Amino acid sequence: MRVRRSGSLVILLEGEDLVFHNYLAQSTFLANPQALEIVRAVSDWTDLDALSARFPGYSKGSLQGAISDLATLGALVIEGDEEAEADARFQREWLWGPFAAAFHHATRVGSFMSEASAVEMLQDRAHFTPSPPLYLTNSDPANDISLPVRNEYGEPFATMSRRRTHRAFRQAPLSLLEIADCLLFSMAITAVIEDPEVVDLPLKMTPSGGARNPYEAYVAARRVEGLEPGVYHYSAMERTLGRVGGPPPAFGALLAGQDWADDAAALIFLVANFERTMWKYHDPMAYRVVAVEAGHIGQNIMLTATHHGFLANPTGAMDFEAVEATLGVSGPTKGVLYCLILGRPGPLETQVPA
């Protein structure tokens, strides 16, 4: 049996302690001196004999025990194990280094609060620490430049001005055309720049850093006329839906407990395929570029819905693992980043953002 240090291990100083954190395995544990010595020594595949020769002060039995504990905690991987495969694949495919990787994984963890506890928590926090201002004003009225005032918007500005997040749906279906329009105006490939030397670049109505087109859209449909409840992949080139799964779990469960989404008609998930962008840009700055693009796509979905008179609410809070399992998406360079919750507006009780 040979072992190697997990590639997705970071060590943090907390007080006087060194704390191991494996962002792939999502495990956290204290690094005692023996663990640290062993983990430092196994930067490449190492067997027990080699380890024993390196640490003559430890018996083979205690080294064996330490290795198996460290493997269980995620500090080491054992050659041939599933974890070792995943670790190697991650090291091979993730090109943006450990900081962006740790950020990507750390930001998949979060807890969603009920509206009542969120309100209570915010009131409490505001009482002890006032919120930073949420906008800046200019401070020199004599010299500040007044901008022309518009009384009428006209289109497309009237639609833009009507967009609103409204966290209440009624159980009514959307039409297939309404869903198709949301996908068309945000995701559909509308032109291609041909480049036989490198790769053809798809263009759509929303911009994409380097035209790398990292997103794929998936629809979880519950109430869409002409569409069996199920999970579908949108082919942006063919403009078709391909069924990838049966009726989706409750929307609130996929969206980290936001139960107000349960009555929505459909969800559109935006899944980043980071490898498309990594292939061109090896610099982790490109992570930001991918994240920003989700906002462009989401905005066009929201404006399309507003134009048609239904809701598209944005959410970044998800049970990411459950969503990816539902969509059938996996791999070290893929991840769902954004979701639009579509449906007909219901009566508005509260309007408190989560």
Ligand X SMILES: Cc1cc2nc3c(=O)[nH]c(=O)nc-3n(C[C@H](O)[C@H](O)[C@H](O)COP(=O)(O)O)c2cc1C
Q: Is 167 in the site for ligand X (CB under 6 A)?
A: yes
How near is the Cβ of 121 to ligand X at its closest, in Å?
15
Which region, judged by CB under 6 A, interacts with ligand X, from 126-134, 184-192, 314-322, 326-334? 314-322
Site size for ligand X (CB under 6 A) = 10
Q: What H or E segment, with its residue span, contains residue 2?
A: strand 2-5
Q: Which is nearer to ligand X, 193 or 348 (CB)?
A: 348
- CA atoms of 279 and 335, how far apart (whole Å): 16
Task: Output the DSSP codes for 265-315.
Answer: SEEEEEEEEHHHHHHH--STHHHHHHHHHHHHHHHHHHHHHHHHT-EEEEE
Which region, judged by CB under 6 A, interacts with ligand X, from 143-151, 159-167, 227-235, 244-252? 159-167
Encoding tokens for residue 203? 């263009």
- CA atoms of 38 and 52, how far apart (whole Å): 10
Q: Is 257 in the site for ligand X (CB under 6 A)?
A: no
- Residue keyed to tokens 């930067």: 43
- CA atoms of 198 and 209, how far apart (whole Å): 16
Which region, judged by CB under 6 A, interacts with ligand X, from 56-64, 141-149, 162-170, 270-278? 162-170
Find the residue with minimal CB distance to ligand X.
Answer: 353
Binding mask 28-67 vs ligand X (x if CB under 6 A, - otherwise)? ----------------------------------------
Q: Is 354 in the site for ligand X (CB under 6 A)?
A: yes
**Which region, left, alpha or beta, applies to residue 64 given φ > 0 means left and ψ of -120 to 50 means alpha?**
alpha
Q: Is 164 in the site for ligand X (CB under 6 A)?
A: yes
Helices 60-73/33-41 angle, 10° precision: 90
Q: Is 168 in the site for ligand X (CB under 6 A)?
A: no
Residue from 252, 257, 316, 331 in contact with ligand X (CB under 6 A) = 316
Going edge to edge, which strands form the sheet with 46-47?
46-47, 2-5, 76-78
Residue from 50, 118, 317, 325 in contact with ligand X (CB under 6 A) = 317
Residue from 6, 315, 326, 333 in contact with ligand X (CB under 6 A) = 315
Phi/psi at 291 (nearest 5 deg)?
-65, -40
Q: Is 264 in the site for ligand X (CB under 6 A)?
A: no
Q: Which is nearer to ligand X, 34 or 165 (CB)?
A: 165
Q: Which residues bind ligand X (CB under 6 A)?
A: 164-165, 167, 258, 314-317, 353-354
